[in-house]
Structure 1
Amino acid sequence: MNIGYLLLVPLIPLLVFLLLGVFNKRITPAVSGLIGVAGLAVSTGLSYYAAFQYFFVAAKVEGAYQAFVLKGVWMRFTETLHIDMGLLIDPISVMMLVVVSTISLMVHIYSRGYMKGDAGYTRFFAFLSLFTFSMYGLVLATNLFQIYIFWELVGVSSFLLIGYYYTKHSAVAAAKKAFIVTRFADFGFLIGILIIGFYTGTFDFESLNDPQGPAILHWASTSFMGLSAISWALILMFMGGAGKSALFPLHIWLPDAMEGPTPVSALIHAATMVVAGVYLVARLFPLYFFVDEGFVLQIVAYVGAFSSLFAAIIAITQTDIKRILAFSTMSQIGFMMMALGVSGFAGHEGIGYMASMFHLFTHAMFKALLFLGAGSVIHAVHSNNLLQMGGLRNYMPITNITFLIAALAIAGVPPLAGFWSKDEILVAAFAASPLIYGIGVVVAGLTAFYMFRLYFGIFWGKETRYAHAPHESPLSMTGPLLVLAVLSAVVGFIPFSQFVAADRIGFVAQLHWELAGVAVAVGLLGIGLAWRFYKTENALAGRFAQGFGPLYTWASHKFYLDELYLFVTRQLIFKRISAPIAYIDKKWVDGSMEGIGNKTVLIASKIKGLQSGRLQDYAFAFIGGVVLLALVFVYLWTL
């Protein structure tokens, strides 16, 4: 299979970014929007063509999909250790190409209407193109260092997009928060990469994942505190993934990232930045599975399960509609990580791995739809506050029905997309751990509850008196909503397990009706409770909140983790550690150097007259010296 044409997929958005960035003031907003959409449309067409060629035309080898690599050496360190740049095409990278392309194209089209009239319209499309280029480079990376380079570019792009409204203090603070928190996580990622390179002699994914390769064959050669060096590297790299995917406790940047324009939220949450951590673990899955008998995967599973439950509890209490969706994303990403982790528990059957990738795929569709639907609502009522909404179904019929489809999909109601992928995750969890399965079922019920709390609060309930009569969004915004609604309804029917599997061979997934029935029943229970509490105005929701007392208060304040981080950084790190170090640096280190310098200047000022440059001074010194020497000579002569 010839994959050279796929170089155009990331290069076209890069070219669009450069074009719009350089000629920002010369290109009219209407033209810049068309250029951005046209560029993404070409990349999307190429991505779809590549998916068709890969899955339906390219020949399998021994029943397995091949990996196709196009690369060249960028920097060489040793005969085996070098950094390459290129393309790696395999089932998950092709799947991610389709996801990134689809969601990014919908966001670009939607943004033409949502951002209309904005002063930075062209700049916004330039940043969108840079973000998309970065994600393409990440998913097509052939090695750890290439993925790290684009990983950081994604971070820079998100900083620019979250802080797009740079005159707004909260947006700037949110951008800095996202950038700094993810940088701490990425520091661990970088150390993990260096450890892998040191002990295996390669950064290449194909070599690292080869069961007969140096990483898997020799993982036990060096150990530290009971774990192999490779396991420590994998934990550190998972730390980077946890930061990018906003898992506990590195999730604090995600809710504040909602300060960016709503299309940015859809792009970051649905298919790009936050799923990068899931993609990283999936990309190195054989290494995670074999090293130390999958011990690190157990960490992945428990962190994912806890993050999923933690975020779902918080989402129930929030009133900003975008923050509810943000915590929903954190919860669903935790679900995906949990599925990857339980693959290490249940044996190498591939269900957990496949379920994680399947949920990533389906989640992209309905989460993008939810965020863009929320943007349509915000565009109509100019508010993010759920308490200031109600009755919008009468004014926004298209947004209402598409949002309902997305809510049903994420709640796992059959036959929509979320039902199929969530069922596979729960099947894998049930085979692995009763505790993790129980958490998964509870999260499924909580997800249905808070999503329909959101839906009923926006479109039903007591109709709010709006300053201006709400209206349906233009076709440029409702068009992507309709496309994503169709995708949210039908992509679950794709026989995903036959295309994406841990061994690349694929298998036929079976629907487990008994487990699916439990999940659906719990989901319907959550929807029913939300219907009772929020469909019409009543006091039940308030009494419900009061019944949980301090727990509800803590959850509404996100368990005060932001305050805890501020206390640790300001009171402990800054005052107790950084301040004394700064004092020593300023008073002792700088003081000693400044003292030496000052003394030098003082001495120089005293003796600078010796080289005044005036002839009479030198003559006087010469004659004085001769007289002094003569007096000394006479004195010595008379002794």
Structure 2
Amino acid sequence: MNAQSLVPVIVFGPLVGATLAGLFGRRLGDTISQAITTGLLMLSCVLSWVVFSQWAWGGLEPFTLTLAPFIHVGDFISNWSIRLDALSAVMLIVVTTVSALVHLYSWGYMAEDPSKPRFFAYLSLFTFAMLALVTAADFMQLFFGWEGVGLASYLLIGFWFHKPSANAASIKAFVVNRVGDFGFALGIMTVFWQFHTIQFAPLFPQIAGMAGKGWLFAGHVWPAVDLACVLLFIGAMGKSAQFFLHTWLPDAMEGPTPVSALIHAATMVTAGVYMVCLLSPMFEYAPVAKQVVTLIGAVTALFAATVGLAQNDIKRVIAYSTCSQLGYMFFAAGVGAYQAAMFHLFTHAFFKALLFLGAGSVIHGMHHEQDMRKMGGLWKYLPVTYAVMTIGTLAITGFGIPGVELGFAGFYSKDTIIEAAYAAGHEHGGVAYFAFIVGLLAAGLTAFYSWRLAFMTFHGHAKWGHDEAHDAHGAHADAHAHDDHAHADHGHDDHAHGHKPHESPLVMLVPLIVLAIGAVFAGFVFVEKFVGDERAEFWKAAIFNAPANHVLEHAHHSPEWLMWAPLVVSMAGLAGAFYVYIVKEGMGARIAANKGILWTFFYNKWFFDELYEATIVRLTKFLGDVFWKVGDQKIIDGLGPDGVAAVSSAVGKQAGKLQTGFLYHYAFVMLLGVAGLLTFALVAWQA
């Protein structure tokens, strides 16, 4: 099959499904709407793997299909095009595979929801926007897909719009992403201003010629390529929930669990990583921007890992895990190991989607309970879910044996990132060494909070039959302790907490099993093509490494101790979690009850929400009130239409007093008028 004829079907298939289910869902009915959207996603998924196999093993060359002209104004030229290279081929299988499995999983998870056509239409719309993003041939289409996934995420996070918390979370995600997108738009403008094109093909060859050049602004010479890359990276910070612009991510858990898997596993949050790797020809000549990417990525990895230690909502723990893993991807790209960043994006999609959908299976089996303090001992009741989530935990913690190079998916990709950071730090020093240290520390923290989730959920004493799980300090600490569709009034009143947990239906378990297979084998099968000896042939021209960039080569010659270091810190995290939550069961609750400084700091997410509320939100509200109440109401309206109307009304009321209806009043007024005219005539005649 010809890849050039398959790719348009892959991209536009989900759009057709979204249109049919969204516009005609009520007429088609739930089952047909679900079948159409899921079937088209399955078709896109199969065709994506066909195209990927042609790329990886069939010698397929990069190509660009121009579908239609879009904007042609002077030098500004943008066409609707589809670009296929190694990056887009990888992203096609990542996006369509996870989305297809999420669609199938949602048949069981959303079975009792009355708005299934709308939900499946949103899922397919989201997938189409992401596919448009990853196949973009210029910045305009990239921006279209970028904003499309932002819109679709707003719709999905606020799917249960009757809930105030869901509405607030969707608006928060939308607004925070607009902050990043403002920087992204400025970056695109800067690129066009400097290079007079927004199309990738003619743009990338020009970058080397601009290296070291700048432009004078406000008395300072700004490095041209660095400026563009930093502005573009601000967009990535918002979309990929990096430090400072991360606050929307945990609140996005207000959406249904399949939404969490789709947004946080393989699609929206990885768009920023994909964009940085796509623009490697620019970032390779932007040393300042690369340091910024490395620093922000490392800080994010550490921040999110610490916050994940203290969360009790099963979905929020995994959400912060996503944030932390994205930090790994970014600092990998920042040190120049773009291939390692994409490799971790690829493997992460499998085990993170597995963990999110596994958490959904737990929530479903627990009658929509999300608080891990109300779980325990579930391995007997949810054996398949327990098995696949254990696989996901082993994958995210990077379990493997370095000597024989055998392990789960995360072992290959995460270890490569840590080794690349060490190699870059050893060669150049600076923030790369910081990223290496943080990468090791975050690996230990990742193991601790991941096994903490597994032990609190599946092991220990069962706490789901009563309310003892809520300790004195936190009976109401987690406002979102229940999955939102438990409150959606969908007929769940018969599900009391006293009921025994139960395994999920087969339609939910099949996607989990498929993802578990990916979490086991994705790293082993593709390590050579992504970061090994075959990487040059696989990536071809899709990723650019400057002649001085030898990070991956040096990473493959790491010292012996470095190869074992990630495993050692991960095992330390496992041992710590086992001691606190199994050997000394209840110790974690006692630590939380003491409300120590560190626990309070981590539990409250470094107080970022409170800080933003006290500064940005209040200042914005104050300025809004000033401009509205003073500027708009009192000045503009007061002196303008309202003022004129008030004066006219007052004059009219005073003039109306003359209209008494008595004849002698009118005669008197006429007499006064005549006297006034005579007086004026006499004065004028004398003058």
TM-score using structure 1 length: 0.89
Match of 1:302 among 295, 299, 321: 295
- The answer to whether the 8 Å contact 1:411/1:451 transfers is yes
Q: Compare 190-199 and 355-364 and name the one that shifted more.
A: 190-199
Give a deviation string over 1:173-204, Cα, whole Å, max 9, x none.
11111111111111111111112112211111
Structure 2's unaligned 5+ residue stretches are 401-406, 426-432, 466-497, 546-551, 657-672
Inter-partner Cα distance in structure 1 for 2:323 and 2:211: 35
- The answer to whether the 8 Å contact 2:87/2:542 transfers is no
Where does residue 612 of structure 1 map in the other structure? Answer: none
Inter-partner Cα distance in structure 2 for 1:221 and 1:538: 60
Where does residue 234 of structure 1 map in the other structure? Answer: 229
Where does residue 375 of structure 1 map in the other structure? Answer: 360
1:572 aligns to 2:619 (yes or no): yes
1:596 aligns to 2:588 (yes or no): no
Where does residue 437 of structure 1 map in the other structure? Answer: 436
- The answer to whether the 8 Å contact 1:418/1:492 transfers is yes
Shift of 1:5: 3.1
- The answer to whether the 8 Å contact 1:17/1:130 transfers is yes
Q: Compare 249-258 and 215-224 and name the one that shifted more.
A: 215-224
Shift of 1:380: 0.7
Mark the CA change 1:503 to 1:48 in structure 2 (over 3 Å): closer, same or farther: closer
1:484 aligns to 2:485 (yes or no): no
Match of 1:388 among 374, 377, 380: 374
Mark the CA change 1:413 to 1:238 in structure 2 (over 3 Å): closer, same or farther: same
Inter-partner Cα distance in structure 2 for 1:632 and 1:582: 50
- The answer to whether the 8 Å contact 2:210/2:225 transfers is no
Residue aligned with 1:227, SS: strand
Mark the CA change 1:322 to 1:602 in structure 2 (over 3 Å): closer, same or farther: same
Q: What does 1:270-419 correspond to in 2, within 5 Å? A: 270-291=265-286, 294-343=287-336, 352-381=337-366, 382-414=368-400, 415-419=407-411
- The answer to whether the 8 Å contact 2:213/2:223 transfers is yes
Inter-partner Cα distance in structure 1 for 2:265 and 2:243: 19
- The answer to whether the 8 Å contact 1:353/1:501 transfers is no
Shift of 1:444: 0.6
Give a deviation string over 1:429-467, Cα, whole Å, max 9, x none.
001222211110001111011000000111111122431
Where does residue 38 of structure 1 map in the other structure? Answer: 39
Mark the CA change 1:457 to 1:83 in structure 2 (over 3 Å): closer, same or farther: same
Mark the CA change 1:31 to 1:66 in structure 2 (over 3 Å): closer, same or farther: closer
Mark the CA change 1:570 to 1:95 in structure 2 (over 3 Å): closer, same or farther: closer
- The answer to whether the 8 Å contact 2:355/2:392 transfers is yes
Residue aligned with 2:27, SS: coil
Where does residue 425 of structure 1 map in the other structure? Answer: 417
Where does residue 562 of structure 1 map in the other structure? Answer: 609
Q: Which amino acid aligns with 2:257?
A: T
- The answer to whether the 8 Å contact 2:378/2:457 transfers is yes
Inter-partner Cα distance in structure 1 for 2:562 and 2:226: 33
Residue aligned with 1:24, SS: helix
Inter-partner Cα distance in structure 2 for 1:55 and 1:604: 83
Mark the CA change 1:551 to 1:597 in structure 2 (over 3 Å): closer, same or farther: same
- The answer to whether the 8 Å contact 1:188/1:237 transfers is yes
Give a deviation string over 1:555-599, Cα, whole Å, max 9, x none.
101111111111113433322x33333343121222111323444
Mark the CA change 1:13 to 1:336 in structure 2 (over 3 Å): closer, same or farther: same
Mark the CA change 1:51 to 1:511 in structure 2 (over 3 Å): closer, same or farther: farther
Residue aligned with 1:23, SS: helix
Where does residue 191 of structure 1 map in the other structure? Answer: 186
Match of 2:76 among 76, 81, 88: 81
Inter-partner Cα distance in structure 2 for 1:555 and 1:139: 35
Mark the CA change 1:203 to 1:638 in structure 2 (over 3 Å): closer, same or farther: closer
Where does residue 62 of structure 1 map in the other structure? Answer: none
Where does residue 454 of structure 1 map in the other structure? Answer: 453
Q: What does 1:128-139 correspond to in 2, within 5 Å? A: 128-139=123-134
Shift of 1:425: 0.2
Give a deviation string over 1:321-376, Cα, whole Å, max 9, x none.
00000000000001000100011xxxxxxxx1111000000000000000000000
Q: What does 1:3-42 correspond to in 2, within 5 Å? A: 3-42=4-43
Inter-partner Cα distance in structure 2 for 1:256 and 1:413: 30
Q: Which amino acid aligns with 2:616?
A: T
- The answer to whether the 8 Å contact 2:102/2:261 transfers is yes
Q: What does 1:49-64 correspond to in 2, within 5 Å? A: 49-58=50-59
- What percentage of residue pairs aligned between the two structures are identical? 40
Where does residue 103 of structure 2 map in the other structure? Answer: 108
Number of corresponding residues: 609
Residue aligned with 2:309, SS: helix
Inter-partner Cα distance in structure 2 for 1:206 and 1:117: 48
Mark the CA change 1:464 to 1:502 in structure 2 (over 3 Å): closer, same or farther: farther
Inter-partner Cα distance in structure 1 for 2:581 and 2:235: 39
Q: What does 1:493-532 correspond to in 2, within 5 Å? A: 493=524, 494=526, 495=528, 496-497=530-531, 498=535, 499-500=538-539, 510=556, 512=558, 513-532=560-579
Q: Which amino acid aligns with 2:7?
A: L
Structure 1's unaligned 5+ residue stretches are 60-64, 344-351, 609-624
Inter-partner Cα distance in structure 1 for 2:589 and 2:92: 45
Q: RMSD in angstroms over aligned alpha carbons?
A: 3.0
Inter-partner Cα distance in structure 1 for 2:574 and 2:350: 21
Residue aligned with 1:462, SS: coil
Shift of 1:205: 1.5
Q: Which amino acid aligns with 1:476?
A: V
Where does residue 70 of structure 1 map in the other structure? Answer: 66
Inter-partner Cα distance in structure 1 for 2:35 and 2:5: 26
Give a deviation string over 1:117-151, Cα, whole Å, max 9, x none.
21111111111111111111111111111111111
Q: Compare 69-78 and 148-157 and name the one that shifted more.
A: 69-78
- The answer to whether the 8 Å contact 1:223/1:229 transfers is no
Mark the CA change 1:24 to 1:296 in structure 2 (over 3 Å): closer, same or farther: same
Give a deviation string over 1:61-114, Cα, whole Å, max 9, x none.
xxxx54444354311111x32122110111111100010011001101100011
Inter-partner Cα distance in structure 2 for 1:637 and 1:359: 101
Mark the CA change 1:397 to 1:600 in structure 2 (over 3 Å): closer, same or farther: same
Shift of 1:48: 1.3
1:475 aligns to 2:506 (yes or no): yes
Shift of 1:308: 0.4
- The answer to whether the 8 Å contact 2:20/2:33 transfers is no
Mark the CA change 1:111 to 1:219 in structure 2 (over 3 Å): closer, same or farther: farther
Inter-partner Cα distance in structure 2 for 1:395 and 1:539: 22
Mark the CA change 1:253 to 1:632 in structure 2 (over 3 Å): closer, same or farther: closer
Where does residue 478 of structure 2 map in the other structure? Answer: none
TM-score using structure 2 length: 0.83
Residue aligned with 1:470, SS: coil
Shift of 1:638: 13
Shift of 1:153: 1.0
Inter-partner Cα distance in structure 1 for 2:184 and 2:342: 22
1:251 aligns to 2:246 (yes or no): yes
Match of 1:584 among 605, 624, 630: 630
Where does residue 159 of structure 2 map in the other structure? Answer: 164
Higher relative contact order (CA 8 A, sep 6+): 2
Q: Which amino acid aligns with 2:49?
A: Y
Shift of 1:302: 0.4
Shift of 1:47: 1.1
- The answer to whether the 8 Å contact 2:301/2:325 transfers is yes
Mark the CA change 1:264 to 1:191 in structure 2 (over 3 Å): closer, same or farther: same
Mark the CA change 1:158 to 1:631 in structure 2 (over 3 Å): closer, same or farther: closer
- The answer to whether the 8 Å contact 2:86/2:542 transfers is no
Q: Compare 130-139 and 522-531 and name the one that shifted more.
A: 522-531
Mark the CA change 1:298 to 1:51 in structure 2 (over 3 Å): closer, same or farther: same
Inter-partner Cα distance in structure 2 for 1:170 and 1:126: 22
- The answer to whether the 8 Å contact 1:353/1:502 transfers is no
Inter-partner Cα distance in structure 2 for 1:214 and 1:355: 23
Q: Which amino acid aligns with 2:305?
A: A
Give a deviation string over 1:223-260, Cα, whole Å, max 9, x none.
44443243222212111110010011111110010011
Inter-partner Cα distance in structure 2 for 1:542 and 1:386: 11
Residue aligned with 1:70, SS: strand
